[in-house]
Structure 1
């Protein structure tokens, strides 16, 4: 695993980790998008990318603008800027190794993968984990401050014990994205993974995503896993399932690294 940095289209320096398989050949490249406000070093992101590398994939996980070790101000970001960061990360991966054929997204990162896939010609498969069917689902996490955000232009909210400033632009941008239509025209293989006891994103969202998608599509229940996949065994199993599923759809170039 190597620590990397690259600039996005605004010149902001983003930081990530590139996991590569042992030896000198890779099966395919993949890009991992973390959950809302989480950062690339959350356990699920570390475990899944490491396991995918063991299965032969070169995987990039990175911090979105304003999170983790990436530069920028989180309060200036929104769902659209996350899509731009993903596209820029894919461009960097393509320049260093090969363009990603697989997108893996956790929670809001899964919604971002669904939305950005049409902008990445190299992508053949998308896997989502506990993803909402619409980005404005996250607004529910700060409903009590919503009126203040909309009238005052911004407000500080507490998410997972940390303080973040949310601006009105974030709310308005989240509401503008129609994922249903993007999923209908996805034209990529889709794997939807969700826990029926997810208390952060209801499994109803998985049903909506799956229903909107066309074949080839697959659904895997994560049984009693929590939203963040805090048990290592759950993250390991998710990675194994994604690796086995994706083999059917990615081009195994087995290129040298």
Structure 2
């Protein structure tokens, strides 16, 4: 939960991942179009790692007769620990780089870069701490300049992308170190709702091979050729413009889905949700069977965007096509829902599930005896808490659910993340020891003395405490609903072994109706996508945001058999 964020950013701060970060991309020019003219002005971006905000950057784009200037100031907290006192990059009228100036501090040490671009080369003077260095690299005259962790620089990429299409390439200079080449894999349009206003963004799915690794990124660009968002799924890094990150903003579904926004009253506030109604089906006499999707952990809205994939939006559309009415909602304090997330714990979120369940019970078009609660990832624990408290829930579906106690899960996920980012062994041991101290302090079994203050602020919360204290074994034995467990065999975030433990816990229940069925899906990852190495359609699937059809097939088959319509 906590330290995977820290180690992800720490790894990003290293040279290999830092180079990967900036492998952002474009495509073949659309001939006949002129150079782009982004709308001048300021924007504020928030930087998230694993949905946790870690920094902010204020960016300005200005235009003069001789070209363009991008400037920014900002701060990214530890362990990156980057203070952007002043960032400036000048381009000519054709978006050819002229000069880069950086004045900042990294890890409390002075960090400055001055680079001039002339005749296909970049010459830099660099100061890092007490060390001075110079470097000269051959650089394409039209390269986009993207220094590590200075995300305002991506405004230039956003301005350039409109003239490029799928399959093309553009040079990128990772100042002040090296030049790389990037490629656009596809482009799609995404509707966005900001309050009552409907906007649209172009999302450029990009890919870059760097040494033996490959990085995918989504670059969101608005109608004014300004940057909206940069998302790196593999690194779980997201940089979002303030208007896109506001609680009143959400990405909306497209296509022919029959979807209505609703409000669900909770305890002193309301939850904002969407109801998707089946189309092309005759409504059953007793009403539609219904699925209630429970939002998971982190800063997720009703669509549960995970690493660029709106899991719940896709699941809602697929289940409605199969004849199920689906309700999904923004968790309290997120999206368009009221309430305060900072004071919530696992039981509080279970309260919200039960209010949403009762909302479905009151609907005239829902069969109240066929309401199924479904959750993904760590949200499965919230669903289990709700099922324990409400026997009228007909059935429970858990997708990629963890099966160990919270304290164990946090340490396991940290070790996985450290291994994924090839963290040196000595640093791994330090990070694990620190995480163990944090867990002990949160649970009242240790002291905060050796924990950095910024980490304590993020960890010492009602939610994290309830998460660490949660043990699925104690809750499962007190549930009586039939349960379906679906888990991808390529899930690296919640490994497949978790479903084995959950299956054992479910089978130990003694009630006749408390059945369990397990579906282990080859080639499916934590995002419920087909991630098998040999999947020919993998990149099209990622571009179209389609979860594996095997997931929805498993759900609908089990739900049809387990909660059939009454005559």
* TM-score higher than 0.5: yes
Q: Tell me the TM-score normalized by structure 1.
A: 0.83
Q: Which of 396, 403, 406 lines up with 1:126 in the alignment?
A: 396
Q: CA deviation at 1:233?
A: 4.7
Partner of 2:374: 104
Say whether residues 1:221 and 2:534 are aligned partners: no
Question: Cα offset for 1:165?
Answer: 4.5
2:351 aligns with one of 76, 80, 84 = 84
Equivalent pair of 2:524/2:548 in contact (CA under 8 Å): no
Deviation at 1:249, TM superposition (A): 1.6
Cα distance in 2 for partners of 1:139, 1:212 equals 20
Which of 386, 396, 406 is the equivalent residue of 1:116? 386
Separation (CA, whole Å) in 2 of partners of 1:55 and 1:243? 7
Of 287, 292, 296, which residue of structure 2 is paired with 1:31?
Answer: 292
More helix as a share of residues: 1
Unaligned runs of 5+ in 2: 1-258, 415-431, 443-447, 508-513, 530-541
Asked whether the 8 Å contact 2:315–2:547 carries over to 1, the reply is no
Instruction: Sort the Cα spacing of 1:154 and 1:20 in 2 relative to 1 into closer, same or farther, 3 A.
Output: farther
Q: Please, which of 328, 341, 348 is the counterpart of residue 74 of structure 1?
A: 341
C-alpha displacement of 1:210:
0.6
Distance (Å, rounded) in 2 between the aligned partners of 1:52 and 1:135: 31
The aligned residue for residue 138 of structure 2 is: none
> Per-residue displacement from partner, 1:79-100 (whole Å, max 9, x unpaired)?
1111111011101111224445
Q: Aligned to 1:101, what secondary structure does the other structure show?
A: strand
- Tell me, in whole angstroms, the C-alpha distance in 2 between the residues paired with 1:27 and 1:219: 25
**Counterpart contact for 1:27–1:253, Cα < 8 Å:** no
Deviation at 1:182, TM superposition (A): 2.3
Superposed displacement of residue 6, structure 1: 1.6
User: Are 1:175 and 2:480 an aligned pair?
Assistant: no
The residue aligned with 1:40 is 302
Question: C-alpha separation between the residues in 2 aligned to 1:111 and 1:171?
Answer: 13
One of 234, 238, 242 as aligned partner of 2:551: 238
Correspondence for 1:205 among 471, 474, 498 = 498
- Check conservation: 2:489, 2:525, Cα contact below 8 A: no
Mapped contact 1:44–1:228 kept (Cα < 8 A): yes
Instruction: State the alpha-carbon separation in 2 of the partners of residues 83 and 188 from structure 1.
Output: 16
1:56: how far off? 1.2
Q: Deviation at 1:169?
A: 2.1
CA distance in 1, matches of 2:405, 2:343: 17
Confirm or deny: 8 A CA contact 1:155 1:167 kept in the other structure: no
Unaligned runs of 5+ in 1: 158-163
Question: What is the alpha-carbon distance in structure 1 between the residues aligned to residue 270 and residue 358 of structure 2?
Answer: 14
The aligned length equals: 247
Return the index of the structure with the highest Cα Rg: 2
Deviation of 1:30 after TM superposition, in Å, equals 1.6
Give the superposition deviation at 1:192: 0.7
CA contact (8 A) 1:30 1:57 kept: yes
Q: 1:39 to 1:154 in 2, by over 3 A?
A: farther
How far apart, CA to CA, are the structure 2 residues paired with 1:71 and 1:156? 26
Q: Does residue 1:53 correspond to 2:366, yes or no?
A: no
CA RMSD in angstroms, aligned pairs only? 2.9
Give the Å deviation of 1:40: 1.4
Displacement of 1:129 after TM fit? 0.7
Alpha-carbon distance in structure 2 between the residues aligned to 1:235 and 1:227: 11
Q: Which has the higher contact order (CA 8 A, sep 6+)?
A: 1
Contact 1:76/1:167 (CA < 8 Å) preserved in 2?
A: no
The answer to whether the 8 Å contact 2:278/2:325 transfers is yes
Say if 2:401 and 2:494, in contact at 8 Å, map to a contact too: yes
Distance 1:241 1:68 in 2: 30
Shift of 1:245: 0.6
Aligned partners of 2:294 and 2:379 also within 8 Å: yes
What is the alpha-carbon distance in structure 1 between the residues aligned to residue 395 and residue 387 of structure 2?
A: 9
1:147 is aligned, of 438, 456, 466, to 438
Instruction: Give the CA deviation at 1:166.
Output: 4.6
| Preserved CA contact (<8 Å) 1:196 1:222 | yes
Question: Contact (CA 8 Å) 2:528, 2:551: kept in 1 or not?
Answer: no
State the alpha-carbon separation in 1 of the partners of residues 329 and 519 from structure 2. Answer: 25
Distance 1:221 1:13, change over 3 A: same
